Amino acid sequence: MCCPIFSGVMFFNRWMSSWARASEDLFTDRNEINSETLSQAIRAAASEEPDADGSVLFGQLQGTVVGLRYYTGVVNQGEMVGLVREPQNPYDRNAVMVANIYGNQVGHIKRELAAAMAYVMDNKLAKVEGVVHYGTKNKFNMPVMLSFWGKEENKNTVVESMLRRGYKLNTGGIKSAEAFLCFQLKNAFDNLFEGLMESKDGEKEAAKSVATPLLLHQKQALSWMCSRENKCTLPPFWEKRGDLYYNTLTHFSAREVPERVRGGILADDMGLGKTLTTIALILTNFHNGKPLPVEMSVSVNNMKQCKFWARVDKYLKTDLLHLLIPCLNDCLLLLSSVNLQDQFEQHVHANVKLNVYLYYGSERNRSKKFLSSQDVVITTYNVLSADFEVSRGSPLHGIHWLRVVLDEGHTIRNPNAQMSKAVLQLKAQRRWILSGTPIQNSVKDLWTLLAFLRLKPFDVREWWNRVIQRPAMQGDRAGLQNLQTLVKCITLRRTKTSEVNGRPLVSLPEKMVCVEQVELNQQEREEYELARNEGRSTIGRYVAEGTVLRNYADVLAILMRLRQHCCHPDLLAKISSDLGAAATPAELRERLVEKLRLVLASGSDEECSVCLDSVCLPVITHCAHVYCRPCIAKVISTQQGTARCPLCRSDIKETELVEVPLEEMEDESSTHAKKWRTSSKVQALMGNLLRLQSEDRSIKCLVVSQFTRFLSILETPLREHGFSFVRLDGTMSQKKRAQVIQDFQSSAANSPSIMLLSLKAGGVGLNLTAASHVFLMDPAWNPATEEQCIDRCHRLGQKRKVVVTKFIVKDSVEENMVRIQRKKQDLVEKAFGSANTDKKTSRIDDIKALLEL
């Protein structure tokens, strides 16, 4: 097995001097480059560090570190040391190297002991950790207390294998974490981000180039962010002792100042203006506390301007740039990236010209020189990781940025994800994470964030695990306390309900939600009842047979048809027939694709039963159940040839998983071809729109549906009545979206007054504050989706009272859906945490309720 940390250190030792020599960058001091190189090397190496979850202490053993006089690494009394296998050592393939926190080698473990440890370490039976309690001044060797940690089931193997080689693990006096501490732990997590909003550093005015006036709490955030970038405060747990810098947790000390973290986590609630504050930071705190020098398009003497630019270019074309990475793991969030650009236009003074480049799309300019000439480069996590995987020559990784800002930073919480690895490799002087939800489930999620911020020594996983994660997970009070301190130092978090000087941070205009009942006309009602009775008898049969889950896709298809009836008859254009009737494989495939599309469009099964999270890369099995491709692939590979569908136990094969072909995602042609007709719901909407228009022509509306084909149908009457409208759905390209949003947000007299919005395109970060009225054409299964959509306009920047109208067809499946929505919300509120104990059963109950069975 190779030994990554070791090679990393070697790399550093060999190249350190040349790095230092080469570093003549005006804006970066030497230490920064050096430690950057080292930590990068170590970080890349340490990414294989296993999780410390559920580790128990097997026992301890006094060992010896030898060969001290050959190495420069020193340790303090009580200091933690790392033990790294060194199988390539020419003298002993069992060698175990001892290194301090900075990766400097201290010595080796004595040969015989190393041989015993090598077996345990190489077979991953235990993780061995060392602490030096005394003898740190010794010349030739020193004692080290070794602790063996691992999974309970490996304990005996480890103890016995060490004993066979004459090393007895001392297992006495080990106290295991008490169960009741779990409760405490949960509390501690919940409170981790509490109390972070106490006033930090007063407030700061934004540079003149910021067009939008900052609110008080935003000025406070700006002040905090500037001071995080400019002040030379030591990172948490470091203190100066004599002429040394000492880490109180690891007991490591160094002569050099520990690299400070220029940045942090801005974890304000959604809607408090994190983006605006960040834009203000970019423009206000460029270098040495000076604002970003940007071109003013006011007419100046030409010559003078040229000279000015020559100077500015010198700043900007070096390698000091901003890289903004908005969240982009599905099409909903794509919008947030475009929106970001929109926000630059909105919040930056019109006279100021800022070069903002959107780095995505196949035509993106990969030239390092070009990218370096921009003031701001915006890209997505996907693009970044795609570039990173393709080759070492990823343009974004070749640039030393002034700032890297991660929007929706919690996307990188999984350290094993390619995206996270790509993000961690970015080179930057200042690093920021914007996130509305910093810790979702556990302390584990924090590691990548701290690693990104380069918070020493926790950017190396081992030290994070030993000092913070494991103690915290095991309910150790000091561990939790340290975690809290750590987070507190680098995070600013305010909630919507936080107060400044006794007043709420933001006051949004009032929001009114009303339900408008729609009555079907006689013909619609007859058609609806026909479909309902048919569906009822089919589902009733499934319930009686106990085969609801096996026929889940069918059930959803029935519900789907009923929901479509409620909106418009033309939505039912395609009716999928029974799977069993498929004659050829091609036909079967076609039907499965159709069902998958129905399931996805219905929005009913947003979660994969394997990961219990939203389905990503959806595939459908031959038994018509939908999963994330990676999840079901894992199930299939672990069950080796005898794989069964987790929901219905039918045989499944990897080769039989079907996904929706990309080009098939939407076909509009069929609907356009038919002669247009109206429906009760369409008329209800049009009545509202016409009334509003007559009351106030400046009012803008969002018309939201889950069915993009319904949006298409709505285009006809809107055109007929002369409304100016735009449309935004998931199928549109980034550029098109940006254009549409810009048009809609414009306050020009001839700007569109209506946006047709597909529910799923209304993702986080999308800003549609120009609208003050929202029409939800059809109920969603998940009320949170609706809320999220409403929040696109009921957010900071909204000047008017927001009115939301939900159309619900009377005596229909829609009414029942609303009932179930409420029930689910109650359930979540009442029994928090135990809500997903029996999801499947509750889903069957839901289906019964929907059809009044």
Q: Is 137 in the site for DNA (CB under 7 A)?
A: no
Nearer to DNA, 66 or 692 (CB): 66
Helix/strand/coil for 385:
helix
- Does residue 92 belong to the site contacting DNA (CB under 7 A)? yes
Among 114, 169, 596, 631, binds DNA (CB under 7 A): 114
Using CB under 7 A, which of the segments 65-73, 312-320, 448-456, 513-521 binds DNA? 65-73
154: which residues sit within 8 A by CB, 6+ positions away? Answer: 58, 125, 126
Give the list of residues 6+ apart from residue 363 with CB closer than 8 angstroms, or none.
none
Binding-residue pattern over the window 470 to 509 for DNA, x denoting contact by CB under 7 A: ----------------------------------------
Torsion angles phi and psi, residue 190, rounded to 5: -60, -35
Residues 570-599 that bind DNA (CB under 7 A): none
Of the candidate spans 47-55, 85-93, 349-357, 626-634, the one that interacts with DNA by CB under 7 A turns out to be: 85-93
To DNA, the closest distance from the beta carbon of 460 in angstroms equals 23
* Residue 584 near residue 795, CB atoms below 8 Å: no
Contact between 134 and DNA per CB under 7 A: no
- Which residue, 67 or 569, is less far from DNA as judged by CB? 67
Give dist(CA 819, CA 825) in Å, integer: 10
Residue closer to DNA (CB basis): 140 or 370:
140
Tell me, by CB under 7 A, how many residues bind DNA. Answer: 18
260 DSSP 8-state letter: P
**Burial level of 347, CB count in 10 A (0-12/13-18/19+)?**
buried
Region of 102-110, 277-285, 401-409, 662-670 interacting with DNA (CB under 7 A): 102-110
* CB of 160 vs DNA, minimal distance in Å: 23
Sequence-separated (6 or more) residues with CB below 8 Å from residue 162: 61, 116, 120, 148, 168, 169
Pick the closer one to DNA by CB: 106 or 631.
106
Chosen residue from 67, 143, 569, 797 binding DNA by CB under 7 A: 67
For the CB of residue 193, give the shortest distance to DNA in the complex, in Å.
46
Residues in the chain: 853
CB of 142 to DNA, least distance (A): 12
Q: Binder to DNA among 7, 23, 76, 89 (CB under 7 A)?
A: 89
| 708 touches DNA (CB under 7 A) | no
Three-state DSSP at 190 gives helix
3-state secondary structure string, 357-375?
EEECCCCCCCCHHHHHCCC
Helix (H, G, I), strand (E, B), or coil: what is residue 146? strand
Q: Which of 40, 94, 448, 564 binds DNA (CB under 7 A)?
A: 94
Choose one: 110-118, 128-136, 238-246, 426-434; the region binding DNA (CB under 7 A): 110-118
69 forms part of the interface with DNA (CB under 7 A): yes
Query: In terms of CB distance, is 141 or 547 closer to DNA?
Result: 141
Q: Would you say 86 or 570 has its CB closer to DNA?
A: 86
317 belongs to the binding site for DNA (CB under 7 A): no
91 binds DNA (CB under 7 A): yes
In the complex, the smallest distance separating the C-beta of residue 94 from DNA, rounded to whole angstroms, is 6
Q: 815 near 525, Cβ under 8 Å? A: no
464-483 in b/e form (b: 16+ CB < 10 A) is: bbbbbbbbbbbbbeebbebb
Q: CA 163 → CA 97, 148, 153, distances in Å? A: 22, 13, 17
Binding residue (CB under 7 A) for DNA from 30, 111, 151, 366: 111
Using the contact rule CB under 7 A, the part of the chain among 25-33, 90-98, 601-609, 613-621 near DNA is: 90-98
Selected binder of DNA within 3, 95, 335, 412 (CB under 7 A) = 95
Q: Round to the nearest angstrom and report the end-to-end CA distance of the chain.
A: 61
**Half-sphere exposure (Cβ direction) of 524: Cα atoms closer than 13 Å:** 26
CA distance 823 to 815: 13
Residue range at the interface with DNA (CB under 7 A); choices 138-146, 579-587, 661-669, 803-811: 138-146
Question: Which part of the chain contacts DNA (CB under 7 A), choosing from 29-37, 88-96, 557-565, 629-637?
Answer: 88-96
Stretch that binds DNA, among 89-97, 122-130, 665-673, 795-803 (CB under 7 A): 89-97
Burial 367-391 (b: 16+ CB within 10 A, else e): ebeebbebbbbbbbbbbbbebbeee
The least CB distance from residue 631 to DNA, in Å, is: 44
Residue 85, interface with DNA (CB under 7 A)?
Answer: no
Contact by Cβ (8 Å): 410, 435: yes
Q: Looking at 1, 70, 194, 499, which residue binds DNA (CB under 7 A)?
A: 70
Using CB under 7 A as the binding rule, whether residue 66 contacts DNA is answered as yes
Using the rule CB under 7 A, give the single segment among 105-113, 319-327, 643-651, 827-835 that binds DNA: 105-113
Q: How far is the CB of 138 from DNA (least distance, A)?
A: 8
- Region of 836 on the Ramachandran plot (φ > 0 left; ψ -120 to 50 alpha; else beta): alpha
- The distance from CA 680 to its chain's CA centroid, rounded to whole angstroms, is 41
Q: Which is nearer to DNA, 141 or 751 (CB)?
A: 141
Q: Which is nearer to DNA, 69 or 719 (CB)?
A: 69
Which pair of structure tokens corresponds to residue 376?
A: 């701001």
Check residue 108 for interaction with DNA (CB under 7 A): yes
- Which stretch, 87-95, 366-374, 546-554, 765-773, contacts DNA (CB under 7 A)? 87-95
Three-class SS of residue 47? coil
Indicate the residue among 91 and 180 with the shorter CB distance to DNA. Answer: 91
Q: Which stretch binds DNA (CB under 7 A): 50-58, 109-117, 307-315, 807-815?
A: 109-117
Q: Which stretch binds DNA (CB under 7 A): 29-37, 84-92, 443-451, 480-488?
A: 84-92
With binding defined as CB under 7 A, does residue 711 bind DNA? no
Amino acid at 341: Q
Nearer to DNA, 75 or 506 (CB): 75
Q: Is the peptide bond before 661 cis (omega within 30 degrees of 0)?
A: no
- Asked whether 119 and 128 are in contact (CB, 8 A), the reply is no
Segment contacting DNA by CB under 7 A, of 91-99, 178-186, 560-568, 826-834: 91-99
Cβ-based nearer residue to DNA, 105 or 343: 105
Looking at the DSSP bridge assignments, the partners of residue 704 are: 757, 776
- Supply the DSSP symbol for 290: B
- Rounded to whole angstroms, the Cα distance separating 144 from 75 reads 11
Residue choice 8, 63, 73, 107 for contact with DNA (CB under 7 A): 107
Rounded distance between C-alpha atoms, residue 410 and residue 626, angstroms: 26
* Nearest distance, CB of residue 86 and DNA, angstroms: 8
Among residues 139, 255, 304, 392, the one that binds DNA under rule CB under 7 A: 139
* Amino acid identity, position 64: T
Q: Are 79 and 467 in contact (CB under 8 A)?
A: no
Residue 504: strand, helix, or coil: strand
Tell whether residue 438 is a contact of DNA (CB under 7 A).
no
Nearer to DNA, 92 or 743 (CB): 92
- In this structure, what token pair is assigned to residue 583? 């004659």
Buried b (16+ CB within 10 A) or exposed e, 761-781: bbbbbbbbbbbbbbbbbbbbb
Query: Is 832 an interacting residue with respect to DNA (CB under 7 A)?
Result: no
DSSP alpha helix (H) spans, 198-317:
216-230, 274-284, 302-316
Cβ nearer to DNA, comparing 139 with 691: 139
β-strands 127-132, 79-85 pairing:
antiparallel
Interface residues toward DNA, by CB under 7 A: 66-67, 69-70, 89, 91-92, 94-95, 107-111, 114, 139-141
